[in-house]
Amino acid sequence: MTQRSPWMDDDLDAFRDLARTFCEKELTPNTERWVENKQVDRELWTKAGEVGLLCLSIPEEYGGGGGNFAHETILLEEQARAGDSGWGVSLHNGIVAHYLLAYGTEEQKHAWLPKLATGEWVGAIAMTEPGAGSDLQGIKAKAVRDGDEYVVSGAKTFITNGGQCDFVIVVVKTDPTKGAEGTSLVIVETERAGFRRGRVLDKLGLKAQDTAELFFDEVRVPVGNLLGGVEGQGFVQLMQQLPQERLIIGISSVVAMEIALELTLRYTKDRQAFGRPVYHFQNTKFTLAEIATEARIARVFLDDCIAKHLRGELDIPTVAMLKWWTSDRAMKAIDECLQLHGGYGYMTEYPIARIYLDQRVQRIYGGTNEIMKEIISRTL
Ligand SMILES: Cc1cc2nc3c(=O)[nH]c(=O)nc-3n(C[C@H](O)[C@H](O)[C@H](O)COP(=O)(O)OP(=O)(O)OC[C@H]3O[C@@H](n4cnc5c(N)ncnc54)[C@H](O)[C@@H]3O)c2cc1C
Looking at residue 1, its pLDDT comes to 53
CATH of the domain at 85: 1.10.540.10
The reported pLDDT for the residue numbered 179 is 87
- Co-location of 132 and 100 in the same domain: no
Is there a single domain that holds both residue 152 and residue 164? yes
**135: CA distance to ligand 1 center in Å?**
8
Does residue 334 lie in a domain region?
yes
> Which amino acid residue places its CA nearest to atom 30 of ligand 1?
133
The domain that holds 191 is classified in CATH as 2.40.110.10
Q: Region 97-120: what's the mean pLDDT? A: 98
Instruction: Note whether residue 5 is domain-resident.
Output: no
Residue nearest to ligand 1 atom 32, measured at CA: 134
Q: Does residue 28 lie in a domain region?
A: yes
Q: How far is the CA of 365 from the centre of ligand 1 (A)?
A: 6
Question: How would residue 162 be classed by pLDDT, with cut points 50, 70 and 90?
Answer: very high
Q: Decide if pLDDT at 293 tops 90.
A: yes
Centre of ligand 1 from the C-alpha of residue 324, in Å? 13
Verify that 218 and 90 share a domain, yes or no: no
Is 169 found in the same domain as 282?
no
Residue 60 is a catalytic residue: no
333-371: per-residue pLDDT in tens? Answer: 999 999 999 999 999 999 999 999 999 999 999 999 999
CA–centroid distance, residue 171 to ligand 1 (Å): 15
Within this chain, do residues 241 and 371 fall inside the same structural domain, yes or no?
A: yes
Contact 249, 294 (CB under 8 A): no
pTM over 0.95: yes
Look over the chain and give the mean of its residue pLDDT values, rounded to a whole number.
97
- 244 and 358 share a domain? yes
Which of 128, 169, 183 has most ligand 1 atoms within 8 Å of its beta carbon, as the pocket-test mutant? Answer: 128
Distances (CA, A) of 343 to 64, 157, 340: 46, 35, 9
Average pLDDT over residues 100-111: 97
Regarding whether 88 and 34 lie in a shared domain, the answer is: yes
Report the 3 state secondary structure along 209-222: CCEEEEEEEEEEEE
Cα 3 to Cα 6, 254, 292: the distances in Å are 9, 12, 11
Residue whose CA is closest, atom 17 of ligand 1?
Answer: 365
**Domain check: are 22 and 115 in the same one?**
yes
Q: What is the mean pLDDT of residues 73-93?
A: 97
In a domain, 1, yes or no: no
The average pLDDT across 75-85 equals: 97
Q: Which of 190, 210, 232 is the last residue of a domain?
A: 232
- Measure 57 CA to ligand 1 centroid, in angstroms: 27
Question: Which residues line ligand 1 at a C-beta cut-off of 6 Å?
Answer: 125-128, 133-134, 158-160, 203, 206, 211, 361, 364-365, 367-368, 370-371, 374
User: What CATH number is attached to the domain comprising 331?
Assistant: 1.20.140.10
Same domain, 14 and 117: yes
Ligand 1 atom nearest the C-alpha of 162 is 8
Phi, psi of 171 (to 5 degrees): -85, 120
pLDDT of 2 over the 80 cut: no
Percent of the chain having pLDDT more than 70? Answer: 99
Q: Which of 245, 258, 294, 313 is catalytic?
A: 245
What HEC string does the chain produce? CCCCCCCCCHHHHHHHHHHHHHHHHHHHHHHHHHHHHCCCCHHHHHHHHHCCCCCCCCCHHHCCCCCCHHHHHHHHHHHHHCCCCCCCHHHHHHHHHHHHHHHCCHHHHHHHHHHHHHCCCCEEEECCECCECCCHHHCCCEEEEECCEEEEEEEEEEEECCCCCCEEEEEEECCCCCCHHHEEEEEEECCCCCEEEEEECCCCCCCCCCEEEEEEEEEEEEHHHECCCCCCCHHHHHHHHHHHHHHHHHHHHHHHHHHHHHHHHHHHHHCEECCEEHHHCHHHHHHHHHHHHHHHHHHHHHHHHHHHHHCCCCCHHHHHHHHHHHHHHHHHHHHHHHHHCHHHHHCCCCHHHHHHHHHHHHHCCCCCHHHHHHHHHCCC
> Which atom of ligand 1 lies closest to the CA of 171?
11
Domain boundary among 65, 88, 121: 121
Q: Which of 39, 159, 237, 368 to mutate to test the pocket of ligand 1 (most atoms within 8 A of CB)?
A: 368
Question: Do 114 and 128 share a domain, yes or no?
Answer: no
166, part of any domain = yes
Domain that holds residue 71: 10-121
State the total domains in the chain.
3
- pLDDT bin (cut points 50, 70, 90) of residue 3 is confident
**Alpha-carbon span 307 to 302, nearest angstrom:** 9
Domain-embedded: residue 4: no
Pair 245, 279 in one domain: yes
With respect to residue 73, please indicate whether it lies within any of the assigned structural domains.
Answer: yes
Q: CB count, 10 Å around CB of 228?
A: 18
Q: Choose one of 121, 155, 187: the last residue of a domain.
A: 121
Q: Given a cut of 70, is residue 203 above it in pLDDT?
A: yes
Output the residue whose Cα is nearest ligand 1's atom 24. 133
What is the mean pLDDT of the segment spanning 275-281?
Answer: 98
- Asked if residue 276 is part of any domain, the answer here is yes
Query: Do residues 82 and 139 share a domain?
Result: no
Percentage of residues in the chain having pLDDT higher than 90? 98
Alpha-carbon distance 1 to 270, whole Å?
18
